[in-house]
A = this chain, B = another copy of it.
Amino acid sequence: MSTDEFYREHCPVTGRLISPMTDSRYRGIPTFFRAPLARSLSECDIALIGVPFDGGVTNRPGARHGPREIRNMSSLMRTTHHVTKINPYAIRRVADVGDVTFSSVYDLEKVGAEIAEYFDCIARAGVIPLSAGGDHSITYPILKGLGRGEPVGLIHIDAHTDTWDAHKGSKFHHGGPFRLATEDGLIDPERTIQIGIRGAQNTEEGWNYSRDKGMRVIFMEEFTELGVPGVLGEIRRVVGDRPAYVSFDVDGLDPVYAPGTGTPEVGGITTIEALALLRGLRGMPLIGADVVEVAPPFDASGNTALVGATLMYELLCLLSESGEAQSQVGP
Known: A219-B83, A255-B306, A256-B256. A101 touches B55 (CB 8 A): no
Collect the chain B residues with CB atoms within 8 Å of residue A55's CB. Answer: 55, 106
The 8 A CB mask of A194-209 against B (1 = contact, 0 = none) is 0001111111100100
Partner of A30, one of B27, B58, B68: B68
Is A37 among interface residues, defined by CB-CB distance under 8 A?
A: yes
In the complex the two chains form, is B266's CB within 8 Å of A121's CB?
Answer: no
In the complex the two chains form, is B301's CB within 8 Å of A300's CB?
Answer: yes
Q: Which of A92-100, A149-157, A282-290 contacts B (4 or more CB under 8 A)?
A: A92-100
In the complex the two chains form, is B200's CB within 8 Å of A80's CB?
Answer: yes
Chain A, range 76-118, C-beta contacts under 8 Å to B: 76-83, 85, 96-108, 110, 117-118
CB distance from A233 to the nearest CB of B (A): 18
In the complex the two chains form, is A24's CB within 8 Å of B80's CB?
Answer: no
- How many copies of this chain does the complex contain? 6
In the complex the two chains form, is A99's CB within 8 Å of B28's CB?
Answer: yes
In the complex the two chains form, is B104's CB within 8 Å of A170's CB?
Answer: yes
Chain A, range 211-270, C-beta contacts under 8 Å to B: 219-221, 224, 254-257, 259, 263-264, 266-268
Residues of A that sit less than 8 Å from B by CB: 11-16, 18, 21-31, 37-41, 43, 47, 49-50, 52, 54-56, 58-62, 64-65, 68, 71-72, 76-83, 85, 96-108, 110, 117-118, 121-122, 125, 168-170, 172-173, 197-204, 207, 219-221, 224, 254-257, 259, 263-264, 266-268, 271-272, 275-276, 297-298, 300-303, 306-307, 310, 313
- Docked complex Cα distance between A105 and B170 (Å): 8
In the complex the two chains form, is B201's CB within 8 Å of A79's CB?
Answer: yes
In the complex the two chains form, is A27's CB within 8 Å of B256's CB?
Answer: no
In the complex the two chains form, is A26's CB within 8 Å of B39's CB?
Answer: no
In the complex the two chains form, is A65's CB within 8 Å of B60's CB?
Answer: yes
- Docked complex Cα distance between A286 and B170 (Å): 38
Collect the chain B residues with CB atoms within 8 Å of residue A207's CB. Answer: 82
Partner of A13, one of B26, B41, B102: B41
- Closest chain B residue to A64 by CB distance? B26
CB distance from A257 to the nearest CB of B (A): 6
CB distance from A48 to the nearest CB of B (A): 11
Known: A106-B168, A219-B83. A62 touches B14 (CB 8 A): no
CB distance from A112 to the nearest CB of B (A): 12
Collect the chain B residues with CB atoms within 8 Å of residue A199's CB. Answer: 78, 82
Collect the chain B residues with CB atoms within 8 Å of residue A107's CB. Answer: 107, 169-170
Collect the chain B residues with CB atoms within 8 Å of residue A38's CB. Answer: 12
